[in-house]
Chain A
Amino acid sequence: MTESSRRHLLAVSDLTADDALRILDTARALERSLDREMKKLPTLRGRLVVNLFYESSTRTLSSFELAAKRLSADTMVLRASGSSVDKGESLRDTALTLAAYDPDVIVIRHPHIGAPQLVAGATTAHVVNAGDGKHQHPTQALLDLHTIREALGRLEGVTVAIVGDVLHSRVARSLVEALLLVGAEPVLVGPPTLLPRGIEALGASVSHTVDAVADAEVVYVLRMQAERMEAAYVPSLREYTELYGITPERVGAGQVVMHPGPMNRGVEIDPRVADSGASLVTTQVRSGLVVRMAVLYDLLTAPGPTLVLPAVAEIA
């Protein structure tokens, strides 16, 4: 297979609506396998998945690791600290070094935009972007779509209010594109200083008041970091919480609440909301596993029919 015909998942824009729905269908099928006693599938036996993480991450890394293992792939983790990266090795050289092991998939998280593209150009592996700077986090967007679809039974026409620091959020950027791709309706809510200028061009509507949340079926809460105060994006976390924090009073009957984690309880989300029946936060983590399994499966098999699970006897 030539380099150019390798499929990657670098950004949501790499996907058509059909691609996204095919991956979600696979995830749905895989989710059933998680209920079995024997959770491991032989599908990717003998394949190598490398997790190349230049940023600390708990849930994304553990999710990719477990996803690959559940599909019987070999896995390897490389972290920026304690590796040759510490010694000043360039990303291209690290990618070339890894390429010598002939990995099937390289999953990369990097603090800088464009790092996954660079790795995709330097190796023949399929590359999955697990977050690059403030740019993209496409598997997060897919797991959020999966969570919404399983909770509400549909995606088309679903209204999703994304609340908070959109400016610094790769999660928000990817999610907006993914929602638009499948016909859902994102609304961005936050102070003007934390909404990127020109973001409306993506196709989302924008509101500066939390009232806009009331009309949404899904309230998607973004992490609010304390350092935003220092750069004068907001005057104080207290005022932010007052104006945009998601409290029980701001969540209506029938609304569901999501958060990509890690949560700052008492800042962007009230603990009573986080722990309520409306919260889908732990569902998102479970979705993360099956969606990443589905993405690995999709990249390593020809695009086409949804996964048919082998019979239990075959697995054993």
Chain B
Amino acid sequence: MLACRGGRGDTLTLRARLVDPGLGIDEPAVVTVEDGVVTAVERASTAPGSLIVAPAFVDPHVHLRTPGREDEETIASGTEAAAAGGYCAIVAMPNTDPVVDTPAVLQALVEQAHAEAVVPTGFTAAISKGQRGEELTEMAALAAAGALAFTDDGRPVASAGLMRRALAYSAVAARPLALHCEEPTLSAGGQMHEGAVAAELGLAGWPSVAESLMVGRDLALAAYEARPVHLQHLSARESVDAVRRARASGVRVSAEATPHHLCATDEIVRTLDANVKMNPPLRTEDHRRALVEGLLDGTIDCVATDHAPHARHEKDVPFEEAPFGVTGLETAFGALNTYLVKTGEVPLPTLLERLSAGPARALGLPVPRVAVGERANLVLLDLDAEWTVREEGFRSRSANSWLLGRALVGAVVKTVADGRVVHAA
């Protein structure tokens, strides 16, 4: 299901505070890895400074821009960025050119990942052919070729009728649907969150109800068809509330939020910097708080970067002409540690769980654990390391980060993915 370059496992010893929320561990430890396998986890009396060792991260939502826009990202550059961000697995979206809607396109990607992916990479396929929202893709064949899930991410499935069929048919493929919830007639032309800042700037609004209305529809259909759904990049309080209610009534639903929606609000759009333009848009502090509350109580079980690389010249235009999307793989932990952990909003173990086990479970991937006998999927973090986000520092081929120029606290020191050291600062 996940593909990456082969190679021998590494041997190393890490001495740090070990935090594995899934195993209920939070104590100084020495972790020994031999030939890529964890062979010992021993309690230690102390650990150096601000170092943390934890299960490496899993990103359920990445745009690798391959095939079609390799000038913006390749499997090699995107997975190097993932390694630098502390990830041991990432999942790529199918809104490429061509769209991943046939087994042939998917097989080519899997082969390419075997040749050049630094970090294990999974792929999703489209729900509808060409993501046009008209006909279903051959889900069973795509699942057999390796599709982890189906999604038309980047655009919504506008037709309720097609969504119902997709949900029902996804049982044949035994894969979940990952849904980009946006009611297109309400969001049409929208450039930013509809509210006071948009009113002042004169930018067309993308109202929160355009998301929550679709979340409501899709949860109702998922309940009716008794199929699991994964809701992508939630941004609105009403959406979080709807997921909480649906889960309480037995719907199998997982949900993501991005670092930018968890950390920032539409106030920063006043800069008119195209690097704060994304879909869904940044919303108000009340919506941001609701996402954090969802993260805390597990309603939102995944942090997803929605890493969306764009060429410099395509973002270096007036705000309204710029494409949606920001990069995130290399800044996710730094941003979340700076804006949520250091501020006391979210405890570190909760954040680490939502960055790793949560997304792994949502997409049916192995849950990274720091336990003897497991393949090593570890991240070594320095909670107090200070660094400034700069255009020239990225492994990604694109630098459209909303954090450019900002000082962050917390850095990824080392990443071990599938037994190999893939990043060492």
Contact = CB atoms under 8 A, between A and B. Distances in A.
B200 A173 contact: yes
B313 A90 contact: yes
Interface string B184-220: 0000000100111111111111010000000000000
Contacts of B194: 197-198
A67 interface: no
A115 B198 CA distance: 17
Contacts of A202: 196, 199-200
Nearest to B200: A202
A112 B203 CA distance: 9
Interface residues of A, number: 24
A222 B195 CA distance: 22
Given A90-B316, A112-B321, A134 B202 contact: yes
A114 interface: yes
Given A91-B317, A113-B272, A201 B201 contact: no
Contacts of B313: 90
A90 B313 CA distance: 9
B24 interface: no
Nearest to B316: A92
Interface residues of B, number: 23
B206 to A, nearest CB: 12
B374 interface: no
B348 to A, nearest CB: 36
Interface string A164-203: 0000001001000000000000000000000011111110
B318 A198 contact: no
B134 interface: no
Contacts of B202: 113, 133-136, 170, 173, 196
A197 B199 contact: yes
B320 A112 contact: yes
Contacts of A197: 194-195, 198-199, 205, 207
Contacts of B317: 90-92, 118
Interface string A131-161: 0111110000000000000000000000000
A136 B321 CA distance: 17
A91 B318 contact: yes
A93 B240 CA distance: 44
B320 A196 contact: no
B318 A112 contact: yes
Q: Most A CB atoms within 10 A — which of B272, B313, B317? A: B272
Contact of B272 (A117, A170, A199): A117
A42 to B, nearest CB: 36
B169 interface: no
A109 interface: no
Contacts of B274: 114
B319 interface: yes
Contacts of B321: 112
Interface string B263-291: 00000000010100000000000000000
A110 interface: yes
B296 to A, nearest CB: 28
A110 B199 contact: no
Contacts of B320: 112-114, 133
A192 to B, nearest CB: 13
Contacts of A113: 191, 201-203, 272, 318-320
Contacts of A132: 318
B101 to A, nearest CB: 31
Nearest to A197: B194
Contacts of A136: 202
Residue picked from B318, B320, B321, most chain A C-beta under 10 Å: B318
Contacts of B195: 197-198
Contacts of A134: 202-204
A2 B50 CA distance: 42
A118 B200 contact: no
Contact of B319 (A92, A112, A200): A112
B272 A196 contact: no
Nearest to B274: A114
A112 B194 CA distance: 18
A201 B198 CA distance: 11
A113 B191 CA distance: 10
B157 to A, nearest CB: 24
Interface of B: 191, 194-205, 207, 272, 274, 313, 316-321
8 contacts: A90-B313, A91-B318, A92-B316, A92-B317, A114-B320, A118-B317, A135-B201, A198-B198
* In the complex, the 9 A-B pairs of residues with the closest C-beta atoms, listed nearest first: A134-B202, A201-B196, A198-B196, A196-B199, A114-B272, A114-B319, A112-B318, A112-B320, A199-B199
Given A92-B317, A112-B318, 11 more contacts: A92-B316, A113-B201, A113-B320, A114-B272, A114-B319, A115-B318, A117-B272, A170-B202, A197-B194, A198-B195, A199-B200
